């Protein structure tokens, strides 16, 4: 969080002032027109995405997702790649979600597959991509993006399913997975009657309101906000603990969650649109250089993947940026639209809450090379052939 | 920062975005920014943002219970569904400053420098074929006279787009070459291939989705003498004879002007995808 705040302050500080001073009246007018037009185009789709995400956050128990996955490990990874169609979340929202799901026992391979695929393979992203590319190969771009996002995510999931989770997850997270197992075996050793109410083990007073029929080893003092990391799941439905809040309370919480998501995404969208507007109108230094790469078979997708990494756009709105890059090939735009939701500056920080740095580095390089190669091939095979 | 204050700040940011969207829609200025099918979406988006912002503002002090546990929260005070990536003030500034500056700076049109970047001085053959492939109306030689109205002065009314793209369509070019035509667009300096200072340019923008993806659609106006003096970007109605001369190895659409006069801008100033 501190890193994010630092980035924000720097962006609003020296760089911004220098740019403002350097901009002529003509440049200001050009920036404003490009900025507002992309903002007007993308903001409604961000709102749609964050409203759905907010309501899922509050109303959908985490355990719901586990029930959709088959027992077969490989098949489970494939299905995890499609879960975004049912539980659509953007890349900012998906990291906290999978962190919670992994803690609750979802296989890491399935969680990572869902994490990479869900921001792309979901109806909101499909709709926004299709709208953004209207009149510009919309159907082909949308289907190519969904397919490539799905295939890459499943490939990563299958690889991860064959390596140790200690190489993937942060040690602290691995420990939190192991502790319940130890505690679980201990509890089983002493207590086999899980139909009993274990409320007597706790020290609840007043308003917690959770259903603790099967919780073990808690150390509760006070009201809500308790650490339930050591909750046990003995095959019962413990995916998420629920109070019995009023409908109004949940609605307020859902709107708050949606607004928080909107602001989180809106900030990055605002920065991304600003940078895009500067390049789009030729104000930014290096705009000509970027244009020069547009004709390069290898340089174009590489440049747009780097741009996607830096811009850190939300998958629900990045298509509106990509659609304005008219000097670039479809393949390069596809690389932008596939790589960005899987790896960017803000995700780099978010991923560190779940994964080891070495794994994140390997993932970034692997995604860059795989998506770059496939989109170059895709350009020649599909787009050039049209 | 207290959660109530953070909610109020975030609600303000959302409401400002809502106000900007709704204002541009209500004032009609949205037509300069978005293609027609995006305008109702922007309006609904503005209303949705207003509802979300107002709801959160009015309930900022209300206790809300999501019904979840929140493992790992420090002290149980920071609610997992509301903790943001950034300090709320930083987030507020990053959301509002670019929008605020843009609203203050915008003139609803591009400068000549940006237009040059958007193809104002490109010849039709340099325009990306994939970009405007769907924009060309179906037009054959037989249809030209039937589908184009003739003015009392004997000029056929053409859109600038048809004249521009006729340069790349041999059949259409042959049909239109030498025809007396009338068209309208915005008046701007001719900065290339104008050794005698007898030329101007007429252009309109073509918008696919929004102004950021727009392209300039220009033709050259040849006066054969010093052109009349009109302000840059003035809307003009121009009549004359259409020619497609080869200059420096490239075909160019050139209108040999007989009449030029200011005119009212059309409702849709830019060409749209549909």
CATH number of the domain encompassing residue B211: 2.40.50.140
In a domain, B42, yes or no: yes
**What pLDDT was estimated at residue A312?**
73
pLDDT(A180) > 70: no
Boundary-marking domain end, from B105, B136, B161: B105
Distance CA B223, CA B156 (A): 19
Q: Look at residue A48 and tell me whether its pLDDT is greater than 70.
A: yes
Please indicate, yes or no, if residue B210 is contained in any of the structural domains: yes
Query: Given this model, what pLDDT does residue A20 score?
Result: 62
CA distance A246 to B85: 28
Q: Residue A15 — very low, low, confident or very high, per pLDDT cuts 50/70/90? A: low
Give, in order, the Cα–Cα distances in Å from A229 to each of A29, A103, A234, A352.
53, 8, 14, 19
| pLDDT surpassing 60 at residue A319 | yes
C-alpha count within 13 angstroms, C-beta hemisphere, residue B42: 29
Among chain A residues, the shortest Cα distance to B95 is held by A267
Mean pLDDT within B156-171 = 85
Q: Determine the average pLDDT of the residues in A241-269.
A: 78
Angstroms from B132 CA to nearest CA on chain A: 8
Q: Which residues of B touch A324 (CB under 8 A)?
A: 210, 212-213
In this predicted model, what pLDDT tens digit does every residue of B132-143 receive, in sequence order? 545 555 566 667
DSSP category for residue B38: G
Output the six-digit token pair for A237. 């439905």
Geometric angle at alpha carbon A36, from A32 and A38, rounded to 5°:
125
In a domain, B209, yes or no: yes
Most confident of A195-204, B63-72, B181-190: B181-190
**One domain for residues B13 and B139:** no
Cβ distance A43 to B21 under 8 Å?
yes
Using CB atoms within 10 Å of the CB of residue A366, give its burial: 0 to 12 exposed, 13 to 18 middle, 19+ buried: middle
Taking only the tens place, the pLDDT of each residue in A215-233 is 333 333 333 333 333 333 3
Strongest mean pLDDT among A188-192, A216-220, A222-226, B170-174: B170-174
Residue B69 is encoded by which pair of tokens? 């546990």
A23, A43, A55, A244: best to mutate for the B interface, most B CBs within 10 A: A43
Is residue B68 assigned to a domain? no
Q: Does B137 share its domain with B267? A: yes
- DSSP secondary structure code for residue A13 in this structure: I
Question: What is the nearest CA distance from A82 to chain B, expressed in angstroms?
Answer: 25
pLDDT-based confidence at residue B255 (cuts at 50, 70, 90): very high
- Please check whether residue B1 touches A, CB under 8 A: no
Cα–Cα distance between B200 and A146 in angstroms, integer? 47
Residue B64 to residue A226, Cβ atoms within 8 A: no
Return the residue matching tokens 């727009």.
B214
- d(CA A240, CA A211) in angstroms, rounded, equals 10
Inform me whether the C-beta atom of residue B153 falls under 8 Å from chain A C-beta atoms. Answer: no
Strand B156-157 with B271-272, pairing: unpaired
Mean per-residue pLDDT, B246-256? 88
pLDDT higher at A173 or A145: A145
Q: Which of A49-63, A194-208, B55-69, B190-204 has the lowest mean pLDDT?
A: A194-208
Nearest in space to B231 (alpha carbons), one of B197, B269, B187: B187
Question: Do B170 and B53 fall into the same domain?
Answer: no
Average pLDDT over residues B236-263: 92
* B209 with A327: Cβ contact below 8 A: no
**Beta-carbon separation of A57 and B117 below 8 A:** no
Which helix (H) or strand (E) segment holds residue B217: the answer is strand B215-222
CA distance B250 to chain A (A): 21
| B173 and B44 in a common domain | no
CA A373 to CA A385: how far, in whole Å?
17
Residue A42 CB contacts under 8 Å (≥ 6 apart), including other chains: A128, A269, A273, A316, A317, A320, A321
Asked if the Cβ–Cβ distance from A134 to B213 is below 8 Å, we say no
User: In terms of domains, do B263 and B169 share one?
Assistant: yes
Do the Cβ atoms of A264 and B85 come within 8 Å?
yes
Q: 227-266 in A: which are within 8 Å (CB) of B?
A: 227-229, 231, 240-246, 249-250, 252-260, 262-264, 266
Are residues B152 and B192 both part of a single domain?
Answer: yes
B120 and B96 co-located in one domain = no
Q: Which residues of A are less than 8 Å from B122 in CB distance?
A: none
Cβ–Cβ below 8 Å for A20 and B112 = no
3-state secondary structure of B271: strand
Band (A18; pLDDT cuts 50, 70, 90): low
What would the two tokens of residue A165 be?
């989770």
What percentage of chain B has pLDDT greater than the value 90? Answer: 50
Taking the C-alpha atoms of residue A149 and residue A334, their distance in angstroms, rounded to an integer, is 10
Query: Strand B215-222 vs strand B250-251: parallel, antiparallel, or unpaired?
Result: unpaired
| A259 backbone dihedrals φ, ψ, rounded to 5° | -65, -40
Query: Token match 């139909």: residue?
Result: A195
Do residues B43 and B21 touch, judged by C-beta distance below 8 A? yes
State whether B100 and B136 are in the same domain.
Answer: no
Furthest-apart CA pair in chain B: how many Å? 83
pLDDT at A13 over 60: no
Residue that is last in its domain, among B105, B137, B167: B105
Domain hosting B121: range is: 112-272
| Cβ <8 Å between B82 and A346 | no
Position B202 pLDDT exceeds 90: yes
Q: Which residues in B59-93 are b (16+ Cβ under 10 Å) and which e?
A: bbeeebbbbbbbbebeeeeebbbbebbbbbebbbb
Query: Whose CA is closest to B159, among B115, B206, B121, B116?
Result: B206
Give me the mean pLDDT over the B262-271 stretch: 87
Q: Both B100 and B127 in a single domain?
A: no
Model confidence at B156: pLDDT above 80 = yes
pLDDT band (50, 70, 90) for residue A35: very high
Residue with tokens 């309101």, as numbered in its chain: A209
Whether complex ipTM tops 0.90: no
Rounded Cα distance, B225 and A321, in Å: 44
Q: Which residues from A are below 8 Å from B128, CB to CB?
A: 326-327
Average pLDDT, chain A: 76
A259·B56 Cβ contact <8 A: yes
Structural domain count of chain B: 2
Within the 12-71 window of chain B, which residues sit less than 8 Å (CB to CB) from chain A?
A: 13-14, 17, 20-21, 24, 30, 32-35, 37-38, 41-42, 44-46, 48-49, 52-53, 55-56, 59, 62-71
Q: How far is CA A93 from the centre of its chain?
A: 5
Identify whether B241 is part of a domain.
Answer: yes
Q: Is residue B243 part of a domain?
A: yes
pLDDT at A50: 81
pLDDT of residue A232: 38
- Per-residue confidence at A68, pLDDT binned at 50, 70, 90? confident
Q: Are residues B94 and B155 in the same domain?
A: no
The pLDDT score that the predictor gives to residue B155 is 92
Please indicate, yes or no, whether residues B266 and B146 belong to a single structural domain of this protein.
yes
CA quadruple B144, B145, B149, B152: dihedral, nearest 10: 140
- The stretch B237-254 carries a mean pLDDT of 90
Contact A120, A85 (CB under 8 A): no
Residue B211: CB partners within 8 Å, gap ≥ 6?
A33, A34, A36, A37, B32, B33, B34, B110, B205, B270
Residue A231 phi, psi (nearest 5): -60, 150
A9, A253, A326 member nearest B131 (Cβ): A326
Would you call A257 and B35 a contact, using CB atoms and an 8 Å cutoff?
no
Distances (CA, A) of A355 to A54, A169, A359, B114: 24, 4, 7, 44
Confidence of residue A339 (pLDDT cuts 50, 70, 90): very high
Q: What angle do CA B35, B36, B37 make, to 5 degrees?
A: 100
Sign of CA dihedral A111, A112, A117, A122: positive
Domain shared by B266 and B136, yes or no: yes
pLDDT for A323: 85
The dihedral built from the CA positions of residue A75, A351, B98 and B217, taken in this order, carries a sign that is: negative
Are A134 and B273 within 8 A, CB to CB? yes
pLDDT at A139: 92
Is B79 within the bounds of a domain? Answer: no
Tell how strand B250-251 and strand B235-243 pair up. unpaired
Q: Is B20 among the domain residues?
A: yes
Residues of A in contact with B68 (CB under 8 A): 58, 240-243
Facing A260 at nearest CB: one of B10, B53, B71: B10
| Euclidean distance between CA atoms A42 and A276, whole angstroms | 13
């Amino acid at each position: 969080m501190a890193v994010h705040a630092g980035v924000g302050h720097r962006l609003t500080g020296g760089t911004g002032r220098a740019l403002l001073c350097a901009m002529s009246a003509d440049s200001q007018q050009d920036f404003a027109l490009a900025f507002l037009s992309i903002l007007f185009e993308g903001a409604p789709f961000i709102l749609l995405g964050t409203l759905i995400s907010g309501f899922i956050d509050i109303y959908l128990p985490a355990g719901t997702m586990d029930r959709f996955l088959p027992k077969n490990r490989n098949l489970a990874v494939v299905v995890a790649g499609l879960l975004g169609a049912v539980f659509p979340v953007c890349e900012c929202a998906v990291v906290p979600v999978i962190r919670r799901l992994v803690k609750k026992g979802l296989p890491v391979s399935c969680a990572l597959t869902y994490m990479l695929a869900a921001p792309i393979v979901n109806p909101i992203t499909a709709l926004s991509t299709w709208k953004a590319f209207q009149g510009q190969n919309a159907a082909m771009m949308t289907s190519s993006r969904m397919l490539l996002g799905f295939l890459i995510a499943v490939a990563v999931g299958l690889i991860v399913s064959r390596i140790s989770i200690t190489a993937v997850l942060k040690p602290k997270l691995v420990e939190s997975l192991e502790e319940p197992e130890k505690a679980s075996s201990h509890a089983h050793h002493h207590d086999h009657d899980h139909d009993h109410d274990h409320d007597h083990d706790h020290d609840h007073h007043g308003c917690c309101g959770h259903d603790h029929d099967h919780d073990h080893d808690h150390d509760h003092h006070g009201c809500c906000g308790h650490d339930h990391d050591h909750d046990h799941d003995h095959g019962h439905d413990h995916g998420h603990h629920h109070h019995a809040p009023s409908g109004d309370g949940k609605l307020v919480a859902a709107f708050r969650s949606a607004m928080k998501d909107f602001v989180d995404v809106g900030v990055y969208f605002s920065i991304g649109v600003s940078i895009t507007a500067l390049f789009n109108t030729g104000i930014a230094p290096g705009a000509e250089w970027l244009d020069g790469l547009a004709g390069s078979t290898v340089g174009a997708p590489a440049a747009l993947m780097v741009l996607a990494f830096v811009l850190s756009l939300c998958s629900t709105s990045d298509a509106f940026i990509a659609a304005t890059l008219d000097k670039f090939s479809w393949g390069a735009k596809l690389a932008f639209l596939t790589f960005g939701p899987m790896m960017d500056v803000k995700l780099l920080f978010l991923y560190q809450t779940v994964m080891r740095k070495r794994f994140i580095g390997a993932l970034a390089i692997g995604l860059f090379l795989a998506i770059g190669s496939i989109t170059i091939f895709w350009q020649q095979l599909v787009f050039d052939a049209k | 920062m207290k959660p109530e204050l953070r909610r109020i700040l975030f609600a303000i940011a959302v409401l400002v975005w809502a106000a900007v969207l709704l204002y541009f829609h209500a004032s009609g200025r949205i037509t300069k920014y978005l293609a027609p099918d995006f305008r109702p979406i922007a309006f609904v988006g503005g209303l949705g943002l207003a509802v979300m912002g107002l709801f959160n503002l009015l309930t900022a002090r209300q206790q809300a219970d999501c019904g979840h546990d929140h493992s790992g929260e420090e002290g149980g005070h920071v609610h997992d569904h509301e903790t943001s990536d950034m300090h709320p003030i930083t987030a507020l500034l990053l959301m509002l400053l670019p929008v605020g500056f843009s609203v203050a700076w915008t003139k609803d049109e591009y400068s000549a420098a940006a237009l040059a970047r958007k193809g104002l001085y490109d010849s039709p053959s340099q325009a990306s074929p994939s970009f405007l492939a769907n924009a060309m109306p179906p037009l054959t030689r037989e249809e030209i006279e039937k589908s184009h109205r003739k003015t009392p002065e004997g000029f056929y009314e053409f859109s600038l787009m048809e004249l521009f793209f006729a340069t790349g369509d041999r059949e259409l070019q042959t049909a239109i070459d030498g025809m007396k035509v009338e068209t309208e667009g915005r008046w701007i300096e001719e900065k290339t291939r104008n050794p005698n200072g007898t030329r101007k340019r007429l252009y309109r923008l073509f918008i696919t989705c929004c102004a950021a993806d727009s392209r300039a659609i220009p033709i050259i106006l040849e006066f054969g003498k010093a052109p009349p003096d009109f302000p840059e970007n003035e809307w003009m109605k121009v009549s004359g004879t259409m020619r497609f001369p080869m200059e420096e190895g490239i075909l160019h659409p050139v209108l040999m002007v007989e009449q030029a006069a200011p005119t009212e801008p059309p409702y849709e100033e830019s060409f749209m995808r549909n």
